């Protein structure tokens, strides 16, 4: 059947507006959004020597670990013992986001509040511990909670049970684009009237020996063990790989009129989302399709390239990704790319994998709120192939009306979110 373009235009006009009313995060900088944001804007690093396990047999001995996190602050001790750290981080971020939003679930709205939370691979800490128990001590030492703790959708399930949400729910697993896809899918559920509010984001706890060794074998990680805080250096000519991180980020998305009726504080509006897949290579990015993905977000929001003030880049600090993303930004923003500010949070928090897109989306929203563009740290030597304004080493005060947040994952998964200042 031929597509009726008039019907498409009308359906866009009828979509409901979506706003951000709550933020929660557990990051390598702090447990909590505001302290994480303050440290990020000051250029502080969450990267250090690994403390969770013995690294003497590894070539990479640094990571961006979560510090001073106490799960019993957010859940019962019994529940904490039975859940993987990725779930603990995500549940903690959710509770902080709901408190921040002042959103109460219950009294008849539970089936209008959904949960979309992602992860790269779920409970890898639990998987690692139980695999060692199986081979070292036998099958009887495998925990009965192994499977429920390990599967990737358990964070979404635990969150829904903890807060009483019964609306649309899913777990998106698209490598490093997971959380961004979760936010985009949650956005669509509200746009099309399937929910009034959504808990969206992701969490990961990938700082384990097998993951560090695996990424290093791909030659994807930095080996700057002697200077951890200098290891993640997106867009810098001397970059040598990313730094593995862990944590969680959760945003509360709401239908605009519903949020206004209950007197919610609105951080920003989310008007556009784009996603596609390269179909090219398992790890090598394709700038043409990355540009198309960003263009889809702009078109979805009816925002022109010259209106974009800031890009929160995926910016991993790998040779291929940084060049590819630079090309994609130049392709889609055109002449605006010569003046737009671009920065990478990963220079300070490392790569949070399945949580990266959510934490970076939170920082993008705060850039709009505060008029601050966070820096790209460790940008010391320009790369001729990376020739944009990367806000080097010092945060910049400037009004941010429109901002993009990019995420690109292994397997060619691309996702982009567009945020803007809220106007009724």
The per-residue pLDDT for 7 is 39
> Of these residues, 171, 293, 314, 386, which one is catalytic?
314
Please name the helix (run of DSSP H) or strand (run of DSSP E) that holds residue 48, with its range, or none. strand 48-49
Per DSSP bridges, beta strands 268-277 and 18-26 are antiparallel
Annotate 158-178 with b (16+ C-beta within 10 A) or e (fewer).
bbbebbebbbbbbbbbbbbbb
Q: How far apart are CA 168 and CA 163, in angstroms?
A: 14
Annotated active-site residue 70? The verdict is no
Q: Check: CB of residue 276 under 8 Å from CB of residue 293.
A: yes
> Of these residues, 171, 176, 293, 386, which one is catalytic?
176
Which residues on neighbouring strands pair with residue 311, listed in sequence order?
A: 342, 404
Annotated active-site residue 314? The verdict is yes
Q: Is the pLDDT of residue 270 over 70?
A: yes
Q: Check: CB of residue 383 under 8 Å from CB of residue 315.
A: no
Q: Check: CB of residue 197 under 8 Å from CB of residue 254.
A: yes
Contacts of 277 (CB under 8 A, 6+ apart): 289, 411, 412, 413, 414
> pTM, whole model, 2 decimals?
0.96
Q: Check: CB of residue 211 under 8 Å from CB of residue 190.
A: no
Q: Is the pLDDT of residue 8 over 50?
A: no
Q: Is the pLDDT of residue 6 over 50?
A: no
pLDDT band at 13 (very low <50, low <70, confident <90, very high): low
The conformation of residue 53, written as its DSSP 8-state character, comes to S
Q: Is the pLDDT of residue 1 over 50?
A: no
| pLDDT tens figures, 36-64 | 999 999 999 999 999 999 999 999 999 99
Annotated active-site residue 171? The verdict is no
**Within 13 Å of residue 83, how many CA atoms lie on the same side as its CB?**
28
Domains by residue range for the chain, with CATH: 19-261 (3.40.47.10), 272-420 (3.40.47.10)
> Of these residues, 171, 189, 351, 386, which one is catalytic?
351
Residue 173's closest CA among 110, 93, 86? Answer: 86
């Amino acid at each position: 059947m031929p597509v009726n373009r008039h019907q498409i235009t009308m359906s866009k006009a009828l979509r409901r507006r979506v706003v951000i009313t709550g933020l929660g995060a557990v990051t390598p900088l702090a447990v909590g959004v505001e302290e994480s944001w303050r440290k990020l804007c000051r250029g502080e690093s969450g990267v250090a020597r690994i403390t969770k396990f013995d690294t003497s047999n590894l070539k990479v001995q640094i990571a961006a670990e979560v510090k001073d996190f106490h799960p019993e602050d957010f859940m019962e001790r019994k529940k904490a013992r039975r859940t993987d750290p990725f779930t603990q981080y995500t549940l903690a971020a959710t509770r902080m986001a709901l408190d921040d939003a002042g959103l109460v679930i219950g009294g008849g709205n539970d089936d209008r509040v959904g949960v979309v939370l992602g992860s790269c691979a779920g409970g890898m800490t639990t998987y690692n511990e139980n695999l060692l128990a199986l081979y070292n001590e036998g099958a009887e030492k495998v925990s009965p909670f192994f499977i429920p703790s390990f599967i990737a959708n358990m964070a979404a399930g635990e969150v829904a049970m903890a807060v009483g949400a019964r609306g649309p729910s899913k777990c998106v697993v698209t490598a490093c684009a997971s959380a961004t896809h979760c936010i985009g899918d949650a956005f669509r559920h509200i746009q099309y009237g399937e929910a009034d509010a959504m808990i969206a984001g992701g969490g990961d706890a990938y700082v384990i020996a097998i993951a560090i060794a695996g990424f290093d074998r791909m030659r994807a990680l930095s080996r700057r063990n002697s200077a951890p805080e200098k290891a993640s250096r997106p867009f810098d000519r001397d970059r040598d790989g990313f730094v593995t991180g862990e944590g969680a980020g959760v945003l509360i998305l709401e239908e605009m009129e519903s949020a206004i009726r209950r007197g919610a504080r609105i951080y920003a509006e989310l008007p556009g989302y784009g996603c596609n897949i390269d179909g090219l290579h398992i790890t090598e990015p394709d700038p043409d399709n990355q540009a198309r993905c960003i263009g889809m977000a702009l078109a979805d929001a009816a925002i022109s390239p010259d209106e974009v003030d800031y890009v929160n880049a995926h910016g991993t600090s790998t040779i291929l990704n940084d060049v590819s993303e630079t090309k994609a930004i130049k392709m889609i923003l055109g002449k605006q790319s010569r003046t737009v500010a671009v920065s990478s949070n990963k220079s300070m928090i490392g790569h949070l994998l399945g949580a990266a897109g959510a934490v970076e989306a939170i920082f993008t929203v705060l850039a709009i709120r505060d008029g601050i563009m966070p820096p790209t740290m460790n940008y010391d030597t320009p790369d001729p192939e990376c020739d944009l304004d990367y806000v080097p080493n010092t945060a910049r005060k400037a009004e941010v009306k429109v901002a993009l947040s990019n995420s690109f994952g292994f397997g060619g998964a691309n996702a982009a979110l567009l945020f803007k200042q809220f106007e009724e």
